[in-house]
């Protein structure tokens, strides 16, 4: 290692540089340690530049010796006749270290320090919050099980289980503050794109039989017969979660937007954006809310629910255009066997003044989407046929509007027109034909005056907010909820929300090369085995993901052995807030 310097107009900076052979076999170097600026070091050491240089060279010698000691080969003596120590933990997870680097890059330790100034408690909120996020990401279970799991991390908890439950109350009270600070700090890692904000709602069920607090009986999106709580989620244009809020399970989702949006506008300073949602959250009041203050909206529109004259205009095959062209075409003239036609999107704009709003209805037609819908329906028709038992009746009554049973009808008369002795069920061809009319068509309503292609692109990204809910429910096991008190329930979802943000950051930095399942599963399995007196040996499989993670975060845990001091240095490195991903 050697000392290098860089000069600016007003000062000179001193570094320790490290030369090495990279993976491609080429000689290169990198900054191993920054020593400081000449002006600061001269004052601190009370010497001139020559004195600072002499001191810097001594530091380089010390670091070189330390590096050699940490990286010298290890000779391990193991005795096949000596058992390992009883009750001694030998396996530890190191996958959380990547999450820890994100945690400190988001300055969450500073956020916890600010919260401490407003509350009176003795436990370490920073340690509890970070561990709960790591556990939710790597081993999503109850708070008790999370506490036990965190003892498998390299840095084990020094707090008690009861401290976790007390901390949940504080986290719930500070939820809005934490979300706002996370948004601001995340801009240093990834510039947040708030030109478009997506909003959607879902619900989560509880493992209880009676209503309690915000857990109310209502229609459960997972068809569970349990009380539920609702969640409203805002997502930015890049798929990063922005803000969440909870509401009673029996509250109308339409009514959740106003207060939540005002919170985003006031706390996040996001006042001008395009609001995008599905039709279920596109009421008149919600649209009017987004016609002021420089805001606009793009909302899906059910063609079936349009007025008859507007629907007929929308479904009329004439006056369509291909995206990128101004030439009018008739959909009947399309050769959908042509790959270019099959993969193209066609659109029609219809002035749409409704609900005292001046809007544009944009109807699109896609041959590819038409084939997809027809395929789905054909599978449902086949399922409907199987529902009819030998007696000619469906196996059971069904009320779901998307259930295949909608294609069945009851025939009370025989072919001769006589009253049948028993009910006869058969496929309803009329219903099938009515649904087939809408195959390939899709519509949005907007007050934007932008290019149609841009409006369609805005709506096309709505799938990401659905994916956010899927990740929360499937990968992070946000439900069922086992907590009882509303404040602790809110803290639980705050932790799930933060784990989702961590994932989106990871996904982005890994250039979207891997799925959520693959990333989480890999980090969950990144265990190290401790050889007492020697160091840590990887007991996981090195893969492309582990290589990419190590390269991204600037440290490696996959050497044949990592000495304890080196591992302590890595842990310290993951808490360096100056290192931005």
pLDDT score of 357: 84
Lowest mean pLDDT among 119-128, 138-147, 206-215, 326-335: 206-215
Does the residue 10 lie in any domain? yes
Q: What is the mean pLDDT of residues 192-202?
A: 95
Residue 172 covered by a domain = no
Q: Of the candidates 571, 289, 230, which has an alpha carbon nearest to the alpha carbon of residue 447?
A: 289
Of the residues 436, 464, 484, which one is the last residue of a structural domain? Answer: 436
**β-strand partners of 308:** none
User: Between 486 and 390, whose confidence is greater?
Assistant: 486
pLDDT band for 84, please (50, 70, 90 cuts): confident
Domain that includes residue 35, residue range: 2-71
Q: Which residues contact 331 (CB under 8 A, 6 or more apart)?
A: 317, 318, 320, 346, 365
Position 358 scores a pLDDT of: 86
What is the arithmetic mean of pLDDT over 191-209? 85
Contact 431, 456 (CB under 8 A): no
Predicted local confidence at residue 477, as pLDDT: 84
DSSP secondary structure code for residue 218 in this structure: -
How confident is the model at residue 136, as a pLDDT? 92
Residue 85 has pLDDT above 90, yes or no: no
The reported pLDDT for the residue numbered 558 is 95
Residue 138 inside a domain? The answer is no
Confidence of residue 171 (pLDDT cuts 50, 70, 90): very high
Flag whether 406 is in a domain: yes
Q: In this predicted structure, what is the pLDDT of residue 392?
A: 62
| Residue 91 contacts residue 154 (beta carbons within 8 Å) | no
pLDDT at 67: 80
Q: How many CB atoms lie within 10 A of CB 28?
A: 10
Rounded mean pLDDT of 102-128?
Answer: 96
Across-strand partners of 347?
Answer: 321, 364
Report the distance separating Cα 230 and Cα 248, nearest Å: 6
Confidence of residue 426 (pLDDT cuts 50, 70, 90): confident
Nearest to 171 by CA among 553, 544, 491, 575: 491
pLDDT tier for residue 413 given thresholds of 50, 70 and 90? low
The number of folded domains in the chain is 2
The mean pLDDT of the chain is 89
Bridging pattern class, strands 274-277 and 296-300 = parallel
Res 23: pLDDT: 66
Look at residue 437 and tell me whether its pLDDT is greater than 60.
yes
Is the per-residue pLDDT at 123 higher than 80?
A: yes
Task: Kindly give, in sequence order, each residue whose CB lies less than 8 Å from that of residue 141, ignoring residues fewer than 6 positions away.
Answer: 135, 149, 477
pLDDT in tens, 15-43: 999 887 776 777 888 888 899 999 999 99
Q: Is 100 helix (H, G, I), strand (E, B) or coil?
A: helix
pLDDT at 511: 94
Residue 57 lies in a domain: yes
Assign 276 to helix, strand or coil: strand
Residue 62 resides in a domain? yes
DSSP letter at 329? E
CA end-to-end distance (rounded Å), the chain: 25
What is the strand order of the sheet 27-37 is part of?
A: 2-7, 12-21, 27-37
| 287 or 225, which is more confident | 287
Q: Which pLDDT value is given to residue 419?
A: 53
User: For residue 581, what pLDDT is reported?
Assistant: 64
Give the confidence band of 153 by pLDDT, cuts at 50, 70, 90.
very high
The larger pLDDT score, comparing residue 146 to residue 386, is at: 146
Looking at 41, 71, 101, the residue that finishes a domain is 71
- CB-based contacts of 195: which residues, under 8 Å, 6+ apart? 237, 273, 274
Please indicate, yes or no, if residue 52 is contained in any of the structural domains. Answer: yes
Q: At 141, phi and psi to the nearest 5?
A: -145, -165
Give the pLDDT of residue 102: 96
Alpha helices in 438-530 (DSSP H): 452-460, 463-470, 486-509, 516-524
Does residue 425 belong to any structural domain of this protein? yes
Model confidence over 293-332: pLDDT tens digits? 899 999 999 999 999 999 999 999 999 999 989 999 999 9
The arithmetic mean of pLDDT across residues 418-437, rounded, is 78
DSSP string covering 376-438, please? HHHHHHHHHHHHB-TTSSBSS----TTSGGGGEEEEEE-TTSPEEEEEEEEE-HHHHHHHHTT
CB 322 within 8 Å of CB 251: no
The total of other beta-carbon atoms located within 10 Å of residue 106's CB is: 23
Model confidence pLDDT, tens digit, residues 209-247: 545 555 555 565 555 656 778 899 999 999 999 999 999
- pLDDT, mean of residues 280-292: 92
Domain-terminating residue out of 71, 88, 107: 71
Residue 417 CB contacts under 8 Å (≥ 6 apart), including other chains: none
* 255 Cβ neighbours under 8 A, 6+ residues apart: none
């Amino acid at each position: 290692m050697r000392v290098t310097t860089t000069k600016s107009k007003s000062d000179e900076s001193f570094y320790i540089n490290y030369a090495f052979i990279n993976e491609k076999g080429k000689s290169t170097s990198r900054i191993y340690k920054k020593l400081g600026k000449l002006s600061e070091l001269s004052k601190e050491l009370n010497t001139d530049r020559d004195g600072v240089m002499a001191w810097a060279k001594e530091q380089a010698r010390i670091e070189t010796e330390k590096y050699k000691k940490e990286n010298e080969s290890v000779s391990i003596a193991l005795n096949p006749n000596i058992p390992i120590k009883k009750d001694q933990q030998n396996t530890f997870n190191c996958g959380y270290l990547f999450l820890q680097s994100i945690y400190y890059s988001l300055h969450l330790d500073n956020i916890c320090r600010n919260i401490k100034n407003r509350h009176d408690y003795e436990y370490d909120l920073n340690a509890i919050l970070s561990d709960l996020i790591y556990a939710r990401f790597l081993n999503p279970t109850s708070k008790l099980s999370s506490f036990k799991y965190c003892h498998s991390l390299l840095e084990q908890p020094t707090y008690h289980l009861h401290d976790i439950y007390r901390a949940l109350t504080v986290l719930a009270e500070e939820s809005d503050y934490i979300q706002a600070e996370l948004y601001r700090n995340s801009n240093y890692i990834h510039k947040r794109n708030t030109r478009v904000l997506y909003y959607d709602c879902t619900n989560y069920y509880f493992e209880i039989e009676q209503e309690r607090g915000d857990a109310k009986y209502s229609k459960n999106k997972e068809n569970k017969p349990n009380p539920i709580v609702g969640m409203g989620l805002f997502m930015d244009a890049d798929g990063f979660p922005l803000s969440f809020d909870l509401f009673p399970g029996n509250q109308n989702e339409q009514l959740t937007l106003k207060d939540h949006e005002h919170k985003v506008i006031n706390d996040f300073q996001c006042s001008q954006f395009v609001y995008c949602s599905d039709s279920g959250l596109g009421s008149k009041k919600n649209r009017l809310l987004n016609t002021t203050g420089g805001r606009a909206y793009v909302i899906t529109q059910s063609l079936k629910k349009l007025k008859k004259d507007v629907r007929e205009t929308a479904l009329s095959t004439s006056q369509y255009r291909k995206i990128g062209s101004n030439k009018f075409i008739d959909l009947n003239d399309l050769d959908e066997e042509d790959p270019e036609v099959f993969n193209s999107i066609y659109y029609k704009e219809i002035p749409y003044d409704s609900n005292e709003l001046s809007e544009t209805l944009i109807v699109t037609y896609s041959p590819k989407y038409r084939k997809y819908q027809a395929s789905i329906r054909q599978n449902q028709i086949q399922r409907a046929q199987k529902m009819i038992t030998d007696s000619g009746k469906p196996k059971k009554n069904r009320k779901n509007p998307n259930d295949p049973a909608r294609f069945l009808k009851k025939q009370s008369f025989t072919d001769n027109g006589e009253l049948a002795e028993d009910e006869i069920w058969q496929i309803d061809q009329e219903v099938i034909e009515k649904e087939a009319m809408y195959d390939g068509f899709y519509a949005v309503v907007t007050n934007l005056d932008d290019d149609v292609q841009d409006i369609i692109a805005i709506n096309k990204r709505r799938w990401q907010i659905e994916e956010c809910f899927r990740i929360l429910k499937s990968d992070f096991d946000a439900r069922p909820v086992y907590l009882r008190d509303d404040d602790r329930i809110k803290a639980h979802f705050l932790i799930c929300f933060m784990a989702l943000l961590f994932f989106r950051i990871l996904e982005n930095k890994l250039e979207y090369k891997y799925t959520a399942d693959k990333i989480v599963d890999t980090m969950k399995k990144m265990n190290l085995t401790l050889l007492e007196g020697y160091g840590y040996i990887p007991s996981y499989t090195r893969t492309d993901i582990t290589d990419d993670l190590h390269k991204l975060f600037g440290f490696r845990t996959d050497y044949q052995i990592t000495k304890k001091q080196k591992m302590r240095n890595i842990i310290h490195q993951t808490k360096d807030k100056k290192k931005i991903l």
